[in-house]
Structure 1
């Protein structure tokens, strides 16, 4: 099943799975990520015209014993529908 765009999930990877972006607070281009931008906007930073930021969850590891788990945000998948 495809994830919803904007869905955040923990993965035990040291690489970005296809369609996912590590939640490290980086700045993304609006034009290359229009669907994700339409959902989160400038909630986490960016100028809102050409850039926006994704959440920075590098220090939000629920498993303090290991740093293997990392949060990723889905940049591809299903667009959430309002009911």
Structure 2
């Protein structure tokens, strides 16, 4: 049987919030870009000119970057929690 540890919540840092909201924002932007491409291609827009190439690139790279940001938040949280538990 393990010994009960005192439950003290580790405070959330500003960088954690920023990275989490950046991840959520990039994911939402990617979904909106996907729907914009679907609507634009169904209306017959020229996907080779204007802002469409940038929108197309966002669909590919934004979810990957969002996942990496979320992974960074999780790793930083685990490390901070381990350090807090080790200090007690």
TM-score of the aligned structures, taking structure 1 as reference length: 0.26
Larger radius of gyration: 2
TM-score, normalisation: structure 2: 0.25
- Using CA pairs under 8 Å that are at least 6 residues apart, name the structure with larger relative contact order, 1 or 2: 1
Higher strand content, 1 or 2: 1
Structure that is richer in helix per residue = 2
